[in-house]
Amino acid sequence: MATQLEDQRVIEFDVRTDEMLINMGPQHPSTHGVLRLLLRTDGEIVYEVTPHLGYLHRCAEKIGENLTGPQWLPYTDRMDYLAAMNMNLGMSLTYEKLIGMEVPEKAMNVRLIIAELGRIASHLVGMGAYGLDLGSFSPFLYAFREREIILDLFEEACGARLTYSYLTIGGATHDLPGMIEIPPGLAALTGNDPKMKMQWTDAVLMFLDWLEKRIREYHILLTRNSIFIKRTAALGVMSGEMAIDYGCTGPVLRGSGVDFDLRRDGDPIYTRMYEGYDFDVISAPFEGVAGIPKDVILGDNWCRFFVRMLEVIEAIKLVRQGIEKYPTTEGDFRVPYKMNSKLPADEVYLETECPRGQMGFYIVGDGQAEPMRARAKSSCFCNLSVTAPLCEGVLLGDIPSIVGSLDIVMGEIDR
Amino acid sequence: MTSQEIFDSLTEKFGSDIILALNAEACDPWIEVAPASIVDVSAFLKSEESLKFDMLCDLSGVDYLEPDAKRAKKFPYEPHLEVVYHLFSVSIKHKITIKVKLPRWKNDEEGSLPDVPSVAQVWKIADWHEREAFDLVGINFTGHPNLLRILCPDDWEGHGLRKDYEFPLEYHGVRG
């Protein structure tokens, strides 16, 4: 009796795989917080992805309805906690537009310097954490070393390291600091005396000079690394129309080849801040940039990542120009705003360009000091909604690569 | 295009029975649309060459009610619900706000959610925004592909952003 079939392939054809439901998260390291993805897989192929949110829901909107503007401000810090300064700015501008307040030139200058430094810090984490998702540990350590100095500088400005509440309605709580002791991290990296005293603005410039040289290293470690390219290029491809249809904004939208940035195309109350500053809006396919890997397709993971890398350089340019203008700006760093000022019976929806996309605040007033509706439209919420179509039919191991390229923060999604 | 021009082109297409009002003096000018026709109006706003509102920036529900009796005397609005659509055109770079007014409860029966047709077929992102509005404000979007709660757990009771929402004393035996 034959112990095996004559043609082995017959058995091969008879093999069936089972459909499996796999739960990824909410404590999975590459879901960037508490996101739970329910995957329906057949072997290594993922057929369906269902995101489940809400693990970090803290009723921020309900709280906002019961508090006045300045009281709600600290809650916006806790939305996107990696770019809290930009959250503060968006919410303050919305209230200012509602009550018709105009901030002086100096306040706008301070806001620009701080907001762009916040953008650098946020993109550094985005870059480092993305490398971590794909199994490359060292860029993460470098990114946090650099971010540490920005946090030190923010600490000198407002006393906090993560939740600042610094940019408030009417301007900022304090002016930029004067003489400070050099941040310990910066002293160690640049080889200066740790007891050295210097102007805060000079410390920022010293840091930027140092950071600019390091960006080449990140490109060697990640951007042009062939393993990194293999894991990101031609994966998670999204067309510009699809990105707009799903409400994607920020680097996700620009990575898909849509040339749109609220710092240039937004509401006048926001673009006024950036008037007279020279900066480029980065969008795929990166015309004039040499050395784009040939596997890259417009709108893939690599493009979204590269947009962030180039935006850091633009942010450095903006901070330099801001600091150059700082001594000559006129006016005060803030206009006083009373805690219990009554809001008019009107409503405003305003979006600002945060590092992760367009964060919108919608405030409806009814004559009381507390708004009747305080809505925070999250950019990551919209960016995450595109996960399900992007992850259809990819390999299980590519899910962290696609979700990581969207650079989400769950605190902002769940609010 | 200005809000007046958008309003004119909508009125020309749909008539004043569907396009109810324009408030051009508001900080963000808004147009009120009859709830039953919101899908047709949305599809027109998105596809018409001169309008091209391809991005739905935000969709939110607002509960116009003042539960505090003292403050209610000064409250400038009649109690009602609104669904607010903030639209933007990436190609033309203009924006408009569309509003739909609904009763707080369907047929005035407390607990039965008011209906409005879903625009998830027009803009994909409306899917999630409508789920959130259903979850927190309590609006029933008819024709929605998957109208489940998104931020609160599936077995949560009530809709948190309603002004007369009462906070639960406990959830699954955990005291609040």
pLDDT, tens digit, 9 for 90 and up, residues A5-32: 565 555 555 556 678 888 887 877 666 7
Q: How confident is the model at residue B86 (pLDDT cuts 50, 70, 90)?
A: very high
Query: What is the pLDDT, as a whole number, of residue A31?
Result: 65
Total number of domains constituting chain A? 1
| Residues of chain B with C-beta less than 8 angstroms from the C-beta of A260 | 90
Q: Which of A319, A355, A363 shows the shortest CA–CA distance to A81?
A: A355
Strands of the sheet containing B80-88, edge to edge, are: B19-23, B30-33, B95-102, B80-88, B55-64
Asked if the C-beta of B121 comes within 8 angstroms of chain A's C-beta atoms, the answer is: no
Interface probe for A, chosen from B58, B59, B86 (most Cβ of A below 10 Å), is B58
**C-alpha dihedral (B170, A413, A29, A211), degrees to nearest 10:** -140
Integer distance in angstroms from the first to the last C-alpha of chain B? 50
Number of domains within chain B: 1
* Cα separation, B26 vs B101, whole angstroms: 17
Q: Which residues are within 8 A (CB) of B157 and not within 5 positions of it... i.e. 6 or more apart? A: B168
In whole angstroms, how far apart are CA A234 and each of A55, A242, A252, A259, A389?
32, 16, 15, 20, 15
Shortest CB distance from B90 goes to which of A57, A260, A382?
A: A260
**Residues making up chain B, counted from first to last:** 176
Q: What value, to the nearest 5°, has the Cα angle with vertex A40 and ends A234 and A28?
A: 75
Do B84 and B3 meet the contact criterion of CB atoms below 8 Å apart?
no
Tokens coding A269:
């109350």
List CB contacts (< 8 A) between A62 and chain B.
160-161
Q: Enumerate the residues of chain B whose CB falls inside 8 A of the CB of residue A246.
A: 124-125
Report the pLDDT value the prediction gives residue A361, as an integer from 0 to 100. Answer: 93
Return the residue of B nearest to A373 by Cα: B62
Could you tell me which residues come within 8 angstroms of residue A185 by beta carbon, excluding any fewer than 6 positions away? A145, A148, A149, A152
Query: How many whole angstroms separate alpha carbon A339 and alpha carbon A70?
Result: 6
Q: Which residues of chain B from 130 to 169 reach within 8 Å of chain A, CB to CB?
A: 132, 136, 149-153, 160-161
- The pLDDT value recorded for residue A74 is 92
In a domain, A390, yes or no: yes
pLDDT of residue A72: 92
DSSP string, A44-81: TEEEEEEEE--TT---HHHHHHTS-HHHHHHHHHTTST
Chain B nearest C-alpha distance from A246 (Å): 4
Q: How far is CA A111 from CA A74, A136, A221, in A?
A: 17, 34, 32
Mutate to test the interface with A, among B65, B78, B148, B150 (most CBs of A within 10 A): B150
Q: Output the pLDDT for position B5.
A: 87
CB contact under 8 A, A346 and B27: yes
Task: Give the model's pLDDT for residue A6.
Answer: 60
Contact yes or no for B125 and A385 at CB 8 A: yes
**Looking at residue A143, which CATH number applies to its domain?**
1.10.645.10
Q: Give the total residue count for chain A.
A: 415
CB atoms within 10 A of CB A226: 10
B171 touches chain A (CB under 8 A): no
Q: Is residue A1 part of a domain?
A: no
d(CA A124, CA A407): 11
pLDDT computed for residue A13 by the predictor: 56
> A259: nearest CA in chain B?
B90
The 3-state DSSP class for residue B114 equals: coil
Q: Which domain holds residue B84?
A: 3-175
How many angstroms away from the CA of B55 is the closest CA of chain A?
6
**pTM exceeds 0.90, yes or no:** no
Indicate yes or no: CB of A351 within 8 angstroms of CB of B75: no
Structure tokens at B113: 């959610």
Find the radius of gyration of the CA atoms of chain B: 17
How does pLDDT run along chain A (415 residues), one tens digit per residue? 555 556 555 555 555 667 888 888 787 766 677 888 888 888 888 888 999 988 889 889 999 988 998 999 999 998 888 889 999 999 999 999 998 888 898 899 999 999 999 999 999 998 888 888 888 888 889 999 889 999 999 998 888 888 898 999 988 888 888 888 888 888 888 888 888 888 899 999 999 999 988 888 888 888 888 888 888 888 888 888 899 999 899 999 998 988 898 888 888 889 988 988 988 888 888 887 877 888 888 888 999 999 998 999 999 999 999 999 888 888 888 888 888 888 888 889 999 999 998 999 999 988 888 898 999 999 999 999 999 898 888 888 888 889 888 888 888 898 8
- Partners of B148 on chain A (C-beta within 8 Å) are none
CATH code for position B32? 3.30.460.80
Domain that holds residue A127: 8-414
DSSP state of B158: S
